[in-house]
Structure 1
């Protein structure tokens, strides 16, 4: 058995109602197990206060301690599929609420290769073979029937699941989970097709969904508008949705906006959407947070500005590790998100003065964070920041072309009005020298981080 818990924290059980009592009228014989006199509730309370390594050692004491320690574990990443398929998983750990079975679904012979492939989603051991063109590897997955059978065993044994990560489950497998695990709130699906998503219709309380379409070098299944529409119709109560490596267009995002009217957070990672999809964001009437992660583009052809619409409830826009060479798509994004209050750029390549200048249309920005944006200079940064009259928080880190020496008195005065300021554009930045003669340090009651 090879198991790895997802977290080190274990929630201790509630205080037992009974108190510890020892039968004093019966003499204790030498060698008698004193812990036998303790109830399961008291012993559970004792074991819950041990460290993780101590709990592992405690499992070896006796079968009773093994069972009680297993009941303390609530989060688990499965590595051995046979442990699940045999039914031992739910017997050994009856109180699981968070299970990840992705690694166990990948067939890997660790004896033949010491190479481990790490991706942002999974980390697997791979088998290599040598050909004339070099080294190659090809991952192998368990069949859909095998995975569905294991998922059914999991659903029947762990009915209190609240979070689950699956790979390769079909519509039937998802149906087993939906019928048995009524408390499930968070689901992550990898390597599934459009039609597999029909199984989502049975989930009554699902609020958080992460859908991983194609993953470079691992698998290349396509999630298109068909899947997004099935998803939207099957999960109307979604609050958070993350789409990774998915394809689609205006129609798919529109269906999500129209059906998932409670959606508050949408994350797009490495998407392959067709041009014109940005206009569909206006259908997300309650969207508060919009995130782009590792995207090669925003929208290759957003269309005329008058057709884009606007997300009036949007509060936060985050772009992390994205390529922002597409100035037209980025400008259209700012137009759709003109009501945003918090704007974050983190390690985005291609954000220069011209593209950042388009953000001035977002006049209600209260918080700006720039990190790792090396093409941006003070000439592009300052006019936009000065145009935001409601700006209260500012973070500038590792933006090497924003220099203290180019700072104007107007910008220095703005800094005195901020509630929070974190200013480290480069390793040579000395804020006090840049503010010499401006009187910026004469006002107190602000938070400055240098």
Structure 2
């Protein structure tokens, strides 16, 4: 009886380079996962060629990252300890965009100085970092900022973050800073940003639900030469027209969001009407602003 000869199909005859070219055209995540199931070659090449990964599943094994050594973007909803960060830095050294949104109990682990230093040093092109949740404190942020030489965008979200973190950030050259629910950030922290290196580099500053910011902090922001976008949303500190009119002195301001600042009135809006570069103004929830204040824009532009 003649032996059966297995004939390779067209898919199995493709080289790694050709498979990589095909996979580069596949952007949908589900489709890429399907491609990885074709055969061992496609599984290997799909992992090597993938640049972005978002892990949502709780308790995922970090060893899965061994398949993706060329990741540029990595996002997860659970990252527990410094050793996790150290493993990521060793396994995926090309990461540029890193995001963690973890709200598990701090007792399960904490992202401290050692882990964030390892991430910054092990991923030399790291430029965009987002750390949301109760896994991060001031010491970790200080270490990250001091070690990540390419850092340009930083997002932080938790009440453990305060002025010590902002003092370190002020010595950097980042262009985007987003702070959400950082209720220990005060006017002193804003003053550091306005007098440090960031006074020349920061283009976008987002402050949401940072309740200790007052008029005194906003007065310092006029020193920021490059600031083009400013968000002050639900910052329920002592912010009045004094701070609002101080903001109007920011020369390069193009976009301003003042959501739910109840202490502002038409005086602030009338002052903002003289901001020649202002293109976007959001006053939703500002109950003290009325029609006459808004009409100041039409009068100035006439």
The answer, yes or no, to whether TM exceeds 0.5 is yes
Q: Aligned equivalents of 2:148 and 2:249: distance in 1?
A: 28
Report the Cα offset of residue 386 of structure 1: 5.0
Asked if residue 91 in structure 1 is aligned to residue 45 in structure 2, the reply is: no
Report the Cα offset of residue 193 of structure 1: 0.6
Alignment of 1:9-408 (within 5 A): 74-76=28-30, 90-91=36-37, 158-166=47-55, 167-168=58-59, 173=62, 177=65, 179-189=66-76, 190-202=78-90, 203-215=92-104, 221-245=109-133, 246-249=135-138, 252-285=140-173, 287-299=174-186, 302=189, 308-311=195-198, 312-320=200-208, 322-327=209-214, 330-331=217-218, 334=221, 337-350=224-237, 352-353=239-240, 354-360=242-248, 362-383=250-271, 385=272, 388-406=275-293
Q: Aligned equivalents of 1:306 and 1:73: distance in 2?
A: 39
Report the Cα offset of residue 301 of structure 1: 5.6
Per-residue CA deviations over 1:60-85 (Å, capped at 9, x if unaligned) read: xxxxxxxxxxx9783149xxxxxx9x
Report the Cα offset of residue 294 of structure 1: 3.7
Report the Cα offset of residue 274 of structure 1: 4.2
Higher share in helix:
2
Gaps of 5+ in 1: 1-38, 42-70, 78-83, 97-153, 417-439, 441-450
Higher CA-based Rg: 1
Q: Aligned equivalents of 2:168 and 2:290: distance in 1?
A: 39
Per-residue CA deviations over 1:17-58 (Å, capped at 9, x if unaligned) read: xxxxxxxxxxxxxxxxxxxxxx999xxxxxxxxxxxxxxxxx
The DSSP-based 3-state class of the residue aligned with 1:165 is strand
Provide the TM-score with structure 2 as the length reference: 0.70
- Cα pair distance change 1:348/1:228, threshold 3 Å: same
Per-residue CA deviations over 1:167-189 (Å, capped at 9, x if unaligned) read: 5457xx35x62x43233111123
Report the Cα offset of residue 324 of structure 1: 2.9
Q: Aligned equivalents of 1:299 and 1:235: distance in 2?
A: 31
Report the Cα offset of residue 242 of structure 1: 0.3
Q: Aligned equivalents of 1:297 and 1:393: distance in 2?
A: 29
Per-residue CA deviations over 1:333-358 (Å, capped at 9, x if unaligned) read: 83785530122334544473144455
How many aligned residue pairs are there?
273
Q: Aligned equivalents of 2:142 and 2:238: distance in 1?
A: 28
Report the Cα offset of residue 198 of structure 1: 0.6
Report the Cα offset of residue 206 of structure 1: 1.0
Per-residue CA deviations over 1:72-99 (Å, capped at 9, x if unaligned) read: 783149xxxxxx9xxx994269999xxx
Per-residue CA deviations over 1:408-434 (Å, capped at 9, x if unaligned) read: 75x5433x2xxxxxxxxxxxxxxxxxx
Higher RCO (Cα < 8 Å, 6 or more apart): 2
Q: CA RMSD in A?
A: 4.2
Residues 247, 271 of structure 1: 8 Å contact kept: no
Q: Aligned equivalents of 1:401 and 1:302: distance in 2?
A: 28
